[in-house]
Chains A and B, each alone.
Chain A
Amino acid sequence: MLWQLFWVFVKIGSISFGGGYAVLTLIQREVEARGWASPSEFQEIVALAGMAPGSIATNAATLIGYAEAGIAGAVLATIGVILPSLVIVVAVTAFFFRLNSNEWFKSSFYGLRPIVTGLIIYAAIHFGLGGRSEPWISWSTAGTLLITAGCLALVIKYKLHPFAVIVLSAAAGIVLF
């Protein structure tokens, strides 16, 4: 179990280009395929992971590790998701320099970046629409929409710090739901 947790998160960590949001859907898929969390549990994990500093993917790994195998699980899942980054960054730092002036490297990222954009867009759609048990037109949907729209305005227009947005939305949730 512990070994499996570690290994699954090593795999996720190795392809987590673009950081946290781009791999959320991948984590969900891996986790649900193994029966580690139901869709609604995963929604809860994402909300909790979003409340703490750090990458949302790493935080989700910690939470899933806890739920599955306690502290040892949390530690192993977290190390698993971070380890590939550590190894790759050290290798690149040790061997390279100026990879970013290489043509092949540039072309690769020219293609990879829009893919990451697509993954993040999909994550937004997926978490915006997925895992709901309520009907479409309901107080719950309206409230969620309202909070999401309010947060967008606060972040984009007023450049509010994400942490402030999270705190406000928790308060809004308490009032609305």
Chain B
Amino acid sequence: MMEHEAWAQRIQRLGQLGCAFFKIGPSTFGGGYAMIATLEREIVQKRGWMDERQMADMISVSGSAPGGVAVNAAAFIGYRLGGIAGAVVAVAAITLPTFIIVSLLSLLSMVFKDHVKVIAALKGVHAAVIALIIVAAFKMWKSSILDTPTLLIAAGTVALLLFTPIHSFYLILGGPIAGIAVVQLKRRAGMKVRTEKQQAEEKRELHFPEYYI
């Protein structure tokens, strides 16, 4: 009997997780920023599933792991609250609304593909996406370019991408290596290295930097 109740409780928790993330899904527009405020409201304030401290852990993990911050946050919270099943349910639930919206867009675009004004609208959106990428680059710049070596790394990355056929994989592999090398060299030279943007400089919004797109 006890076991039966535990199962019922587990399934209920999974259902709640699913509902919560299904609702959050559509608000992940434009990336992590807006989403983290929504998450905090839903998970910390409304449901009391996690406290502020756990939220901070969540933000650091989901910003560092590959992938979009929304999906990573869902995986983290889902796992904490419901184990692997919880993580899978939360990730599926946060992805589903977007998946449906994208599918509809895809259908619509196929139907109206050759309509002149649809092409014009898409062209406008394309210009807006370029602007959003520039904004993302600018914000990421603020939290990543801390000194001359980081500036050189970023400039080198752009130059390599522009002028050589290098695959991004090697750049991403090279990042941590360069980072560790620079920090070690600087230490050896007796210099102090700041590896992160100082907390004091950051306002609260910067706390969930920029990285999360």
Contact = CB atoms under 8 A, between A and B. Distances in A.
B122 A121 contact: no
Give the residue among A74, A84, A145, A177 with the most B Cβ atoms within 10 A.
Answer: A177
A47 B140 contact: no
A59 B133 contact: no
Nearest to A54: B98
A139 B103 CA distance: 32
Interface string A88-125: 11101110010110011011111111111111111111
Contacts of B57: 97
Contacts of A94: 79
A110 B171 contact: no
Nearest to B30: A162
Contact of A14 (B66, B75, B158): B66
Interface residues of A, number: 104
Contact of A115 (B26, B34, B157, B183): B157
B75 A173 contact: no
B120 A93 contact: no
Interface stretch (B6-14, B41-49, B144-152): B144-152
B5 to A, nearest CB: 26
Contacts of B134: 124, 148, 152
B36 interface: no
Interface residues of B, number: 99
A147 interface: yes
Contact of A112 (B124, B179, B184): B179
A84 B161 contact: no
Interface in A1-41: 13-26, 29
Nearest to B24: A53
A174 B102 CA distance: 21
Interface string B69-112: 11110011001100010011001000101110111011001000
Contact of B131 (A63, A106, A165): A165
A155 B28 contact: no
Interface in B113-136: 117, 119-136
Contact of B121 (A52, A89, A111, A170): A170
B67 interface: yes
Interface in A50-98: 50-59, 62-63, 66-67, 71, 74-75, 78, 81-82, 84-86, 88-90, 92-94, 97
A156 B181 CA distance: 35
B67 A13 contact: yes
Nearest to A58: B68
A49 B195 contact: no
Contact of B133 (A21, A43, A44): A21
B15 interface: no
Contact of A127 (B133, B140, B171, B213): B133
B132 A120 contact: no
A53 B168 contact: no
A67 B136 CA distance: 28
Interface of A: 13-26, 29, 43-44, 46-59, 62-63, 66-67, 71, 74-75, 78, 81-82, 84-86, 88-90, 92-94, 97, 99-100, 103-104, 106-125, 127-128, 140, 143-152, 155-156, 161-163, 165-166, 168-174, 176-177
29 contacts: A20-B31, A21-B137, A43-B126, A51-B125, A81-B67, A85-B67, A85-B68, A89-B62, A90-B84, A103-B183, A104-B180, A106-B195, A109-B196, A111-B150, A111-B178, A113-B140, A113-B175, A114-B157, A117-B145, A122-B161, A127-B130, A143-B123, A146-B127, A148-B130, A151-B131, A155-B132, A155-B135, A162-B30, A162-B132
